Amino acid sequence: MKNKSGGIENLIRRMLKKHSSPLMLIQEDVLERQFRAFRKALPEVTPYYAIKANPYPGIIKKFIELGAGFDVASANEMNVVLELGASHDKIIFANTIKSHEDMRSACKKKVKLMTFDNESELYKIAKACPGAKVIIRIKVANIGSIVELSLKFGADPEQSISLLKKARSLGLKPMGVSFHVGSQCTNSENYLQALEVSSVIFNEAKQSGIFLNILDIGGGFPIKHFDADNHLTFERMASQIRKKLQRLFDKNVKFIAEPGRFFAGPAGILVTQVIGRAFRNNKNYYYLNDGLYGDFSGIVFDHCKYEFKTLKRGQRFLSTLAGPTCDSFDTISLSEDLSELDVGNVVYVKNIGAYSCASAVPNFNGFKPAKIVMC
């Protein structure tokens, strides 16, 4: 299905004849399109899908089929991708703080590539998974990113060499450097600065007899949430990143990345329907059968803004959208220009496949998140 308004609306109508709403439609061809776009723009970089963005089994199976690796943050995530057919050597345990039990599980299942950012973690890894391959995650700038990820993770770059030496002394195998510039990053300078810093660490490590050969450039690659978004595109950003990789690093270095939103986000369409309406505060209030506790959870946890569309056409009025629960917090948007809607009318959102159903609360107030349908 082509990503045009008419095609999407016809798809929604077809799906509503087969399924009741709310529905999270995952377009398989868009998953493949995003994967191909990534590989075309960054052919030297192997993508490891960050399954936290959307761990739906159909999505994981698709990326296994396409040859992607996987970024997991827990033994549970690891077990999901392994059970679906992923190879243990195409998984990175990319949480810098891991429980002893999870590391033991990873070691038992031969998932031995993992990140760290502090000395205490190295002792834990050495005890739970002797001989593991470790990558140091460094703190880098997150300027302009919607979700900052260096607030909680990342070693100061100045500590890198001493930590890599400590890893070696504990019998671990120091393999490389990783960083994350923040989620939905529209500032390419974050990547470029991080690559410069990483290059310095590679060279200093070599002088210390530690030969690193993996660079993990993380995720954060931007997508459009609104049709009119005009921020820096992934393709332009990737062009700058690629030039820097080629200039700064030897040909024997393996580059990997952890795209999550970039892969899953554009593939998702959330389809909701109006279950009630009122006139409050001098504007229309529409109550939908999904809300902040469900698949609009990205508004809260991902600081995301969405473009709301309707199948019904007509004069637009300032309107409020609210979720179905009995909590006033469950107000999706206070100011949307929408056609006048009736009970049963459809409100849908594109580009919502990441950090939506993944963080939805199951059954709060008895309301289930949207049914996920691959199409």
Separation CA 144–CA 69 (nearest Å): 27
Cβ–Cβ < 8 Å for 166, 114: no
Question: Mind telling me the catalytic residues?
Answer: 326
Location of structure tokens 């308004």:
5
Separation CA 358–CA 57 (nearest Å): 12
Say which amino acid occupies 67: G
Give the CA angle between residues 267, 271, 272 to the nearest 5°: 150
Location of structure tokens 């909701």:
272
Residue 223, SS3 per DSSP: coil
Of 137, 254, 112, nearest to 201 by C-alpha is 137
Cβ–Cβ < 8 Å for 219, 183: yes
Question: CB neighbours (10 Å) of residue 146?
Answer: 18
